[in-house]
Amino acid sequence: MSAAGPGGLPPAIAAARALVAELWMQGVRDVVLAPGSRSAPLAYALADPSVARRITLHVRVDERAAGFLALGLSRGAEPVTHGAGPEGEWHTGVPRPVPVVTTSGTAVANLHPAVLEAHHTGVPLVVITADRPHELRGTGASQTTDQVGIFGSSVRFAADVPAADGRDGEVRDLLAVTGRALAAATGLRDRNPGPVHLNLAFREPLQPPLQPDPSDSRQHRGSPVADTGMWPDGYRRTVVVPSLAAVDIAGADPALFGDPARTLVVAGDGAGPDARRIAEAQGWPLLAEPSSGACGGPNAVQGYRSVLGVEELARDVEQVVVLGHPTLSRPVQQLLGRADVAVTVVEPGGGPWPDAARNAAAVVQTLDDRWYLPPREPRDPAFLERWRAASRAAARVIDRLTSDDAAPGPLEAAPHSALAVARAVAEATGPDDVLVVGSSNPVRDLELVLGLDRADAAPPEVIANRGLAGIDGMVSTALGVALAAARRGRRTRALLGDLTFLHDVGGLLRGPFEPAVDLQLVVVNDDGGSIFATLEHGALAAASDAGAKVFERVFGTPHGADLGALCAGYGVGHRVVKDLVGLRAALAARGAGVEVVEVRVPRAGRLAESRALHQEIVAAARAAAVTARDAPVE
């Protein structure tokens, strides 16, 4: 029998309550829990009434859904404020850390996809896994496997914490390691936020003492926050002060290479508004991905993936400044890999910098402030004007092919219908809203149409899981974003493909005691994976009937699933819209709760349509750029 912990509680219960109290003190405001027996001490601590007033608990039965829900909660939240030390309070710019708690065994393995996405996106996901005590490991005990180091190099910090047994100082040690884990998750010292893993062994008993009268206030004795008696004697919380570079980056001016007048700005996922600021200050064209946070403005190039195919424009580029993590476009990667283009990567964090082409001339923490101010001598405007003219021409092509006139009837039979859906969703989502977009075609469709209908207005906040660009957990991610965004007074909508939706349809499962969430999921259903048709595999499929059969079986993967029946099983609202008029009505009539709006579109012509669209944009952009080149610039 283990010795009693603080307050006379079983050691596992005392340790769990101390851990939860430390999480709250460190700024945690949401925790996601997947039920299990070995993690029961943490479940009891999180369900304590004194905690419920401070930390919102979210319960999910599927650990993979739980992991992505926590990821979405962090991504949709405001940056955490640290402080309580001699330096006062400060904002790190990092989202608030969100823990996800599971029991032992396969439950832990199911968190791996979310951990990988958090690793590559820099999201402070705090993975807390319960484990059997050390004496049961390697003995064949039920639900016992090697959880130590299970996430490998994908976590910023990992600790295997022995089971509490009531010894002096063990709670203090647990709080200290928790503080280290949270500092690593938020990147306070190395500017490299990301997931961390605390593997906590628990030895029975796993439940608090029974209280005969639930209304007896004594049942909360030793509760995580209300009773300071749970803090060990002489324990002092360590306040981790961010590195100076994380608080006030004012490094030396990097040497930009090439002619500053012939520069492009590439804004990848998470670039932030600085990418747009520098482009507009310096008079440089801006190639911004939807989730960059830098879309919009007079220098943004519409349809830039195709516009880069205009040789007369691309060959004049001498320099590219990259912010964020660009992943969407092969033409952009080809540009970044050119030997005659000098690439400067701006990467403020301490993690790996994005340079898939292995061609960066410089990697800097920041650009000097002067690059965000207009130059003393105005740039030659001819370079920018050619790109602007090409952008306007591309926008006209996209506008014509996705307008109401182009698709007046059923979307299931209309060309470019998926693009038209993305345009309607973008148009209906205001600048104060949040739009979560799935991988594969939806994010690329959104890239083409975002800003088309309101070039002068701010676009919505766009969130996408571009760390690994997978389709895993997108429903759960969107739910987490919606929960967090609502606290900022923002509404959330998601644009997903059918396979992405089906891959995480279990994320719709939410018990009656869980916090309410308002989310509209627009599912573009083409009965399979149309993204592959736009890649090399589509060309092979078009070459022969045999190739088409192979493509359809192993790439197209039609499913024939009844999305409405699935939604009904989860108690989620569902409607099918057949045309743009019905879609706009559904987007305008969004109500409370979770609703799925299904839009069925064709898949068979996706390859031919994408090629034709690309060629038409290139031709129009080339003609506009040549005309702008030959016209006098005032």
Q: What is the 3-state secondary structure (H, E, C) of 350-390?
A: CCCCCCCCCCEEEEECCCCHHHHCCCCCCCCCHHHHHHHHH
Q: What is the 3-state secondary structure (H, E, C) of 288-301?
A: ECHHHCCCCCCCEC
Q: Is the CB of residue 473 less than 8 Å from the CB of residue 113? A: yes
| Beta bridge partners of residue 131, listed in sequence order | 201
pLDDT mean for each 10 residues of the chain (634 residues) = 69 94 90 94 93 93 96 88 44 81 94 96 96 86 86 95 90 89 89 94 89 47 50 62 42 55 94 94 95 95 97 94 93 93 85 86 82 80 94 96 89 93 96 95 96 81 93 96 95 97 96 95 94 80 82 88 97 96 94 95 89 96 91 62
pTM higher than 0.95 for the full model? no
**CA distances (Å), 630 to each of 375, 385, 444, 624, 626, in order?**
25, 11, 33, 10, 6
Q: Is the CB of residue 282 less than 8 Å from the CB of residue 384? A: no
| Beta bridge partners of residue 95, listed in sequence order | 79
Rg (CA), the chain: 26
Query: 507: closest CA among 521, 493, 495, 497?
Result: 521
Instruction: Report the C-alpha gap between 362 and 139 in whole angstroms.
Output: 53
- Helices (H) and strands (E) counted in the chain, each on its own, are 22, 19
Q: Which two tokens stand for residue 298?
A: 């007079």
**CA distances (Å), 212 to each of 12, 184, 221, 403, 557, in order?**
21, 42, 14, 67, 57
Q: Which two tokens stand for residue 245?
A: 């570079």
| Beta bridge partners of residue 322, listed in sequence order | 266, 345
Q: Which two tokens stand for residue 378?
A: 């105005």
| Beta bridge partners of residue 159, listed in sequence order | 198
Q: Is the CB of residue 332 less than 8 Å from the CB of residue 308? A: yes
How many other C-beta atoms are found inside a 10 Å radius of the C-beta of residue 342?
21
Our CA dihedral for 354, 357, 362, 363, rounded to 10 degrees, sits at 10
Tell me how many degrees the CA angle 616-621-625 measures, rounded to the nearest 5: 155
Buried b (16+ CB within 10 A) or exposed e, 315-333: ebbbbbbbbbbbbbbebbe
Q: Give me the domains of the chain, ranges plus CATH numbers.
A: 6-236 (3.40.50.970), 254-390+617-630 (3.40.50.1220), 416-604 (3.40.50.970)
Instruction: Report the C-alpha gap between 321 and 362 in whole angstroms.
Output: 10
- DSSP-based three-state secondary structure for 425: helix
Instruction: Report the C-alpha gap between 441 and 449 in whole angstroms.
Output: 13
Instruction: Report the C-alpha gap between 354 and 335 in whole angstroms.
Output: 14
pLDDT reported for residue 361: 84
Q: Is the CB of residue 355 less than 8 Å from the CB of residue 318? A: no
pLDDT reported for residue 223: 54
- DSSP-based three-state secondary structure for 315: coil
Spatial neighbors of 284 by CB under 8 A, at least 6 apart, are 263, 264, 265, 278, 299, 321, 384
The kind and range of the H/E element at 613 are helix 606-630
Q: Is the CB of residue 319 less than 8 Å from the CB of residue 256? A: yes
Q: Specify the amino acid at residue 171.
A: V
To which residue do tokens 């803090």 refer? 231
pLDDT reported for residue 88: 40
How many other C-beta atoms are found inside a 10 Å radius of the C-beta of residue 229?
12
